[in-house]
A = this chain, B = another copy of it.
Amino acid sequence: MRPLAVADLNPAVLNVQYAVRGELAIKADELNERLRSQEHRDKLPFSKVISSNIGNPQQKGLDQPPITFTRQTSNPADRASPALCSQCHSDGSKARDSVSYSITEGCFTLYARNMIEGLVVLTCVAALMEYPPLIDIVKDKWPSDVIERAQQLQAEIGSIGAYSHSKGIPLIRKHVAQFIEERDGFPSDPEDIFLTAGASAGVSLLLNVLITPHKTGILIPIPQYPLYTATLAQYSGVPLPYHLSETDGWSTSLEEIRAALTKAEADGTGVLPRALVVINPGNPTGALLDEKTMEELVWLCEEHSLVLLADEVYQDNLHRRAAHPFHSFKQTVRRLRSPVPLISFHSISKGVFGECGRRGGYFECCNVAPDVRALLYKMVSVGLCPPLSGQIGVDCLVRPPRAGEPSHARWKAETDAIHAALAQRTALMAARLNALPGVSCVDSPGALYLYPKLELPAGAVEAARKAGKEADTLYALELLEETGICVVPGSGFGQKEGEHHYRLTCLCPGVEEYVGMLEKFHVGFLKRYGSSA
């Protein structure tokens, strides 16, 4: 028997890189393990790991202190006037008693409390779906719209333990289509909607279907969310990178895309550009596209017969809505009466929902021929169906309580407060980062991240080279080891030769304390590697 070696495996899979959960995240796991034992804990210069590498709003905050916006967490100082659960009117004090972490910042307390309450409609609907007899127990305690919602879903779905239609529950797809119609002012057909296990599953499916190995080029922004490069590697697609303009707030430039197309043609490798990936709001940049650029992008897709893949999972994370609103590509394509095939992705993992663990999302096909759609249906059938828990999440995402319904006023107040808190935190973090020597940071108008640029001392670049690492990876590793803060080096997202960035989420406990740690580390790093930059 010859043992199975890595060299025996699919070379495409070997090429996959996924930095969000790569070297840094594995190191963070190890540190978390060490924090669990008294002996090792005492040797570490921090008491908790803060996973700023991933936009995971509900990450756990109990035996490990809370990193971000968890539902079970609140400010102990707030206990004198506990926030009553809007549904069952309990004050959640049981959950709080087990929380030892002290929160030092008002807006986080607000955010955390809002996360507890703002999501109660979903958790209540979901709990009733798990165990229908609960309706009898809670029907006098919970608002009537929650009960009605759960009963309607139960009548349609039956047991959440059964496989659903492979494209997702028809009634929920109808609700998604209604949501899209109301958002855009153009019709949407439930048959064009596919529910998925998060947006990632949809992106992976579409890339698998569009890519003929080694022959298909996919235009991707740089920096990009590494799902795209990872999946391109997995399916042997050819990335055709186009750079976003950092000096112009990470704007998208048509010239960059045209240059990438020209370069692909000039290469003489016969690679055929097939699709354009646009992430709007951007990840990791947080940039928002204006309508004029969107129109130009659609026309460019027409000109080059490209499929437009619109990753719009952060469409509800807008920090300055008036100046930087969100427009969907579906609306743009319909308004222009364009024939461009468009796939738009959305998710329950982001926005004010942050319901990452349910794995829910959807994509909508627009201008996609029935036989191509049938092929997508065949492919999702092999995976049977998306998780019902995620599908129910999608239903709650696209049907928030409406004005006049019992849950509406509270829902509105809570979600408004969540948006305000995230906007405030993002602006504060950007301002503080920009004040550091050798750091410049676009103040993102959307999404959950900042992507600061670092001018690193030559000594650090040289030390990294000797260690066989990128300089920003060295920076991120030392940050993790010194402070417990886990970020993702820019090399995972892509950047120009010689540039250095990192991505950090704007989800964190105690922004003052957190930014203070970042600042202290940064100044020490510059000193250590011989620069006063």
Interface residues of A (CB under 8 A from B): 1-6, 8-14, 16, 18, 20-22, 25, 29, 54, 56-63, 70-72, 85, 88, 90, 92, 94-95, 98, 119-120, 123-124, 126-127, 130-138, 154-166, 197-198, 200-201, 204, 208-213, 216, 227, 230-231, 234-236, 274, 301-303, 305, 307, 338-341, 349, 353-359, 367-369, 371-372, 375, 378-379, 381-390
Complex Cα–Cα for A56 and B159 (A): 11
List of B residues within 8 angstroms of A4 by Cβ? 307, 341, 368-369, 372
Q: Are B198 and A384 in contact (CB under 8 A)?
A: yes
Please state the number of chain copies in the assembly. Answer: 2
List of B residues within 8 angstroms of A340 by Cβ? 1
List of B residues within 8 angstroms of A227 by Cβ? 382
Q: List 28 A-B contacts (CB under 8 A).
A: A1-B302, A6-B372, A9-B210, A10-B210, A10-B216, A11-B212, A13-B208, A13-B379, A16-B379, A21-B378, A57-B161, A59-B158, A70-B159, A71-B159, A95-B133, A98-B155, A119-B161, A123-B130, A127-B130, A127-B134, A137-B137, A161-B356, A161-B357, A200-B382, A358-B387, A359-B359, A359-B384, A359-B386
List of B residues within 8 angstroms of A211 by Cβ? 10
- A11-B212, A22-B378, A387-B387 are known; give 4 further A-B pairs, CB within 8 A: A10-B213, A21-B382, A57-B162, A359-B386
**Chain B: which residue is nearest A85 at the CB level?**
B133
CB of A302 to closest CB in B, whole Å: 4
Report which of B134, B161, B230, B274 forms a contact with A358, defined as CB distance below 8 A: B161
Complex Cα–Cα for A474 and B212 (A): 34
Q: Are B234 and A382 in contact (CB under 8 A)?
A: yes
Q: Are A197 and B197 in contact (CB under 8 A)?
A: yes
Q: Are A165 and B29 in contact (CB under 8 A)?
A: yes
Q: Are A94 and B133 in contact (CB under 8 A)?
A: yes
Complex Cα–Cα for A386 and B387 (A): 9
List of B residues within 8 angstroms of A2 by Cβ? 305
Q: Are A1 and B339 in contact (CB under 8 A)?
A: yes
List of B residues within 8 angstroms of A371 by Cβ? 6
Complex Cα–Cα for A305 and B5 (A): 11
**Chain B: which residue is nearest A305 at the CB level?**
B2
List of B residues within 8 angstroms of A120 by Cβ? 131
Q: Are B6 and A62 in contact (CB under 8 A)?
A: no
Complex Cα–Cα for A379 and B233 (A): 11
Q: Are A162 and B60 in contact (CB under 8 A)?
A: yes
Report which of B29, B138, B305 forms a contact with A1, defined as CB distance below 8 A: B305
CB of A261 to closest CB in B, whole Å: 15
Complex Cα–Cα for A120 and B57 (A): 30
Complex Cα–Cα for A368 and B6 (A): 10
Q: Are A6 and B375 in contact (CB under 8 A)?
A: yes
Complex Cα–Cα for A227 and B381 (A): 10
Q: A137-B138, A158-B62, A161-B58 are in contact. Are A95 and B132 (CB under 8 A)?
A: yes
CB of A203 to closest CB in B, whole Å: 10
Q: Are A162 and B94 in contact (CB under 8 A)?
A: no
CB of A212 to closest CB in B, whole Å: 5
Q: Are A3 and B94 in contact (CB under 8 A)?
A: no
List of B residues within 8 angstroms of A92 by Cβ? 133
List of B residues within 8 angstroms of A235 by Cβ? 10
List of B residues within 8 angstroms of A197 by Cβ? 197, 359, 383, 387
Complex Cα–Cα for A227 and B158 (A): 26
Q: Are A160 and B384 in contact (CB under 8 A)?
A: no
Q: Are A70 and B387 in contact (CB under 8 A)?
A: no
Among A9, A90, A119, A386, the most chain B Cβ lie within 10 Å of the Cβ of A9
Task: State the 6 A-B residue pairs at the shortest beta-carbon distance, nearest first.
Answer: A60-B158, A21-B381, A389-B389, A357-B388, A387-B387, A127-B131
Among A4, A11, A135, A160, the most chain B Cβ lie within 10 Å of the Cβ of A4
List of B residues within 8 angstroms of A208 by Cβ? 10, 13, 234
**Chain B: which residue is nearest A307 at the CB level?**
B4
Complex Cα–Cα for A12 and B210 (A): 11
Complex Cα–Cα for A138 and B141 (A): 14
Q: Are B274 and A8 in contact (CB under 8 A)?
A: yes
CB of A190 to closest CB in B, whole Å: 12
Complex Cα–Cα for A382 and B207 (A): 14
List of B residues within 8 angstroms of A201 by Cβ? 383
**Chain B: which residue is nearest A159 at the CB level?**
B58
CB of A138 to closest CB in B, whole Å: 7
Q: A88-B137, A159-B72 are in contact. Are A200 and B131 (CB under 8 A)?
A: no
Complex Cα–Cα for A378 and B25 (A): 11
